[in-house]
Chains A and B, each alone.
Chain A
Amino acid sequence: MRAAAAARSRWLLLIYDGIFRWREASIFVVGVALVIYFALQNSAFLSTDNIRTISQYAAAPAIIAAGEVMLLICGEIDLSVGNTYTLAPIIMYTLYTTNHMPLVPAVIVGILIGGLVGLTNGLVTVLLRVPSFITTLGMSFLLNGIALTVSSFPQLTPGGSTFSNIMGHGDYSEIIWALCVIAVMQAVLSFTPWGLHTVATGGNILGSEEVGINVNAIKIGNFIVVGMLAALTGILEAVRTTSVDPSAGGTPVMFAAVVAAVIGGTSLMGGSGTVLGALFGALVIACLQDGFTLMGISAFTYSIILGAAIIVAMIVNIRLQQLRARSR
Chain B
Amino acid sequence: MSNEESIDQLPKDHDPGRGFSRRELIRRAALGTTALSIPAVVSALGQNPGTADAAQSLAPLRANPYPGHPRWRFTFVNHVTTNPFFVPTQYGAQDAARLFNCQFQWTGSVSSNVAEMVNAMNTAIAANVDGIAVAIIDPHAFNDPVNRALAKGIPVVAYNADAPASSHNSRLAYIGQDLYLSGFKMGQRIVNLVGRGDVVLFIATPGSLNIQPRINGAAAAIRASGGSVHYQEIASGALVPDELARIEAYYIGHKSIKGMFAVDAGSTQSVGQISQKYHLKGRVKTGGYDLTPVTLNAIASGNLNFTIDQQPYLQGFIPMQQLFLYKLSGGLMFPSDTNTGVKFVTQATVGKYRRTTSRYEGSSPAEKWIH
- Distance between Cα atoms of A60 and B118 in the complex (Å): 14
Selected contact of B113 from candidates A52, A156, A252, A303, CB within 8 Å = A252
| Nearest chain A residue, comparing its CB with the CB of B118 | A241
B123: chain A residues at CB < 8 Å are 50, 53, 289-290, 293-294
Q: Mark A283-296, 1 if CB is under 8 A from B, else 0.
A: 00000011001101
Contact B140 A248 (CB under 8 A): no
A299 near B119 (CB under 8 angstroms)? no
User: In the complex, what residues of B have CB within 8 A of residue A296's CB?
Assistant: 73, 75, 103, 105, 127
Chain B interface residue count, Cβ-Cβ cutoff 8 angstroms: 41
Q: A152-B235, A154-B140 are in contact. Are A299 and B126 (CB under 8 A)?
A: no
CB-CB under 8 A from B143, the residues of chain A are: 242
Q: Contacting chain B: which of A41-49, A134-142, A182-190, A197-205?
A: A41-49
Least distance between B78 CB and chain A CB atoms (Å): 7
Say yes or no: is B82 at the interface (Cβ < 8 Å to chain A).
Answer: yes
Known: A243-B139, A296-B103, A298-B105. A50 touches B126 (CB 8 A): yes
Q: Is the CB of B78 within 8 A of A299?
A: yes
Within 8 A of B (CB), among A212-233: none
Given A49-B126, A252-B111, A299-B108, A56 and B140 touching (CB < 8 A)?
no
CA distance in complex: A125, B110 (Å): 32
Q: Mark A123-160, 1 if CB is under 8 A from B, else 0.
A: 00000000000000000000000001000111011000
Q: Which A residues fall within an 8 A CB radius of B?
A: 42, 44, 47, 49-50, 52-53, 56-57, 60, 148, 152-154, 156-157, 237, 240-243, 245-250, 252, 289-290, 293-294, 296-300, 302-303
CB closest residue in chain A, given B212:
A153
Question: Could you show 28 A-B contacts with beta carbons less than 8 Å apart?
Answer: A44-B128, A148-B235, A152-B207, A153-B212, A240-B115, A241-B118, A241-B141, A242-B144, A243-B114, A245-B138, A246-B207, A247-B207, A247-B208, A247-B238, A248-B113, A248-B115, A250-B111, A252-B110, A294-B126, A296-B127, A297-B105, A297-B107, A298-B105, A299-B106, A299-B108, A300-B106, A303-B82, A303-B110
B228 to chain A, nearest CB (A): 28
A244 to B235, CA, bound (A): 19
Chain B residues, Cβ within 8 Å of A252: 110-111, 113, 116
> In whole Å, how far is A279's beta carbon from the nearest beta carbon of chain B?
18
Interfacial chain B residues near A289, Cβ < 8 Å: 119, 123
Known pairs A53-B119, A294-B123 / 12 extra A-B pairs, C-beta < 8 Å: A42-B127, A44-B126, A44-B128, A153-B206, A240-B118, A243-B138, A245-B138, A248-B114, A250-B111, A252-B110, A294-B126, A299-B82
Q: A153, A242, A303: which contacts B141 (Cβ < 8 A)?
A: A242
Q: Mark B129-154, 1 if CB is under 8 A from A, else 0.
A: 00000000011110110000000000
Bound CA span A300–B108, Å = 11
A154 & B105 in contact (Cβ 8 Å cutoff): no
Q: Verify A299–B81 contact, CB threshold 8 A.
A: yes
Tell me the complex Cα distance, A252–B79, Å: 14
Contact A57 B119 (CB under 8 A): yes
- On chain A, the residues within 8 Å of B106 by CB distance are 298-300
Q: How far is the CA of A216 from the CA of B319 in the complex (A)?
A: 58
- Asked if A299 and B107 make an inter-chain contact with CB atoms under 8 angstroms apart, the answer reads yes
Q: Nearest Cβ in chain B — how far from A83, in angstroms?
A: 13
In the bound complex, residues from chain B placing their C-beta under 8 Å from that of A299 are 78, 81-82, 106-108, 110
Q: Contact between A156 and B126 (Cβ–Cβ < 8 Å)?
A: no
| 7 smallest beta-carbon distances between A and B, as pairs | A299-B81, A153-B207, A50-B126, A49-B126, A298-B106, A241-B141, A243-B141
CB A259 to nearest CB in B, in angstroms, measures 15
Bound form: Cα–Cα A303–B111 in Å? 13
Contacts A57-B119, A289-B119, A296-B73 hold; do A152 and B206 have CB atoms under 8 A apart?
Answer: yes
Q: Chain B, 202-223, contact with A by CB distance < 8 Å: what is the 0/1 string? A: 0001111000100000000000
Residues of B within 8 A of A237 (CB): 115
Evaluate whether A157 and B140 lie within 8 angstroms (CB atoms) in the complex, with A49-B125, A245-B114, A250-B111 already known.
yes
Q: Chain B residue with minimal CB distance to A302?
A: B107
B25 in the interface (beta carbon within 8 A): no
Smallest CB-CB separation from A50: which chain B residue? Answer: B126
Docked complex Cα distance between A87 and B20 (Å) = 44
On chain A, the residues within 8 Å of B81 by CB distance are 299-300
Q: Does B122 contact A (CB under 8 A)?
A: yes
Complex Cα distance, B238 from A170, in Å, reads 32
- CB neighbours of A298 from chain B (8 A): 104-107
**Minimum distance in angstroms from B267 CB to a CB of chain A:** 16
A190 CB to closest chain B CB (Å) equals: 31
| Smallest CB separation, B205 vs chain A (Å) | 6
Which of B127, B208, B212 is in CB contact (< 8 Å) with A294? B127
Residues of B within 8 A of A302 (CB): 107
Distance from A328 Cβ to chain B, minimum over Cβ atoms (Å): 40
Interface residue? B112 (CB, 8 A): yes
Which residues of A are found within 8 Å of B110, using beta-carbon distances? 252, 299, 303
CA distance A294 to B105 in the complex (A): 10
Tell me whether A293 and B107 are in contact in the complex, defined as CB-CB below 8 angstroms, given that A247-B112, A299-B81 are known contacts.
Answer: yes
Contact status A247-B205, CB under 8 Å: yes
CA distance A49 to B125 in the complex (A): 8
Min CB–CB distance A98 → chain B (angstroms) = 17
Q: Which residues of B contact A42 (CB under 8 A)?
A: 127
With both beta carbons as reference points, the residue of chain B lying nearest to A298 in the complex is identified as B106
Contact partner of B126 among A53, A242, A245, A247, CB < 8 A? A53
